[in-house]
């Protein structure tokens, strides 16, 4: 019977973490580690030599950072799947990595089960975001892949605009939409900026004109 295990390259500059990932990943019969790299240049050389299916990649690497590694990997292995496994949790940074070609993100604070879940998703050509990922980032990822709706607002922004126009407070809106108050505040700020509005009354008038709510 042929070996159907996915080949994985582990890239991280901490030896103990690489050992831990190897032990975790090889504990599953679905994956085989084909190499380990501690810096960006070594990662590219090993990837070219071993042609892995998946790379687990930290961002902070000597010689060449994770973003540059992703760009170069995608150049000669366009179908490779990349799991960003890092301490960094800045939303804009993570989105930048995903735009470059990363398909999965797991923070190092997550349990090992999240790493395996991410690998399973990538094996099926699905993206994966850690359950610990902030609601704001999930919203932004969806927004970037969705079409803009009437007035330049996203579907989520229109939902927030409707809640506000109907007189609900941020806390009530967050509960109704199943998001955080911070996310509602961010959407509200984006709405006011996009539409060049100053007050809630201006937003209500816009909502009526755009048929978001009925007068």
| Per-residue pLDDT reduced to its tens digit, 100-153 | 899 999 999 899 999 999 999 999 999 998 876 756 666 666 555 554 444 578
User: How is residue 11 annotated by DSSP?
Assistant: E
Q: Tell me, rounded to whole angstroms, the distance of Cα 205 from its chain centroid.
A: 35
The pLDDT of residue 190 is above 50 = yes
210 pLDDT band, cuts 50/70/90, is: confident
3 state SS of 37: strand
Q: At what angle do helices 155-165 and 170-177 cross, to 10 degrees?
A: 130
The pLDDT of residue 198 is above 80 = yes
The pLDDT of residue 1 is above 60 = no
| Per-residue pLDDT reduced to its tens digit, 17-43 | 999 999 999 999 999 999 999 999 999
Could you tell me how many helices (H) and strands (E) the chain has, helices first?
10, 6
Tokens at 15, concatenated: 């030896």
pLDDT given for residue 148 in this prediction: 45
| Per-residue pLDDT reduced to its tens digit, 158-187 | 889 998 999 999 999 888 888 899 999 999
pLDDT given for residue 212 in this prediction: 80
User: What distance in Å separates the CA atoms of residue 120 and residue 111, rounded to the nearest whole number?
Assistant: 15
Hey, what domains does the chain have and what are their CATH numbers? Answer: 6-132 (3.40.50.2300), 137-209 (1.10.10.10)
Listed range (87-101, 102-116, 184-198) with the worst mean pLDDT: 87-101
To the nearest whole number, what is the mean pLDDT of the chain? 87
188 pLDDT band, cuts 50/70/90, is: very high
pLDDT given for residue 175 in this prediction: 87
The mean per-residue pLDDT over the stretch 57-76 comes to 89
What is the pTM for the complete model shown? 0.64
């Amino acid at each position: 019977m042929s070996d159907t295990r996915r080949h994985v390259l582990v890239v991280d500059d901490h030896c103990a973490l690489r050992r831990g990932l190897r032990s975790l990943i090889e504990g599953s019969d679905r994956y085989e580690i084909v190499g380990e790299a501690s810096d960006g240049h070594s990662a590219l050389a090993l990837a070219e030599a071993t042609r892995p299916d998946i790379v687990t990649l930290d961002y902070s690497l000597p010689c060449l950072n994770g973003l540059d590694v992703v760009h170069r990997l995608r150049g000669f292995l366009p179908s490779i799947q990349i799991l960003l496994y890092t301490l960094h949790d800045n939303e804009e940074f993570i989105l930048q990595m995903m735009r470059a070609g990363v398909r999965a993100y797991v923070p190092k604070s997550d349990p090992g089960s999240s790493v395996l879940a991410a690998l399973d998703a990538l094996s099926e050509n699905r993206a994966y975001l850690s359950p610990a990922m902030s609601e704001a980032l999930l919203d932004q990822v969806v927004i970037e892949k969705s079409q803009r709706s009437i007035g330049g607002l996203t579907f989520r922004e229109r939902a927030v605009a409707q809640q506000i126009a109907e007189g609900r407070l941020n806390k009530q809106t967050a509960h109704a939409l199943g998001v955080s108050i911070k996310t509602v505040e961010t959407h509200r700020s984006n709405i006011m900026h996009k539409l060049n509005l100053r007050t809630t009354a201006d937003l209500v008038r816009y909502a009526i004109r755009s048929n978001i709510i009925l007068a």
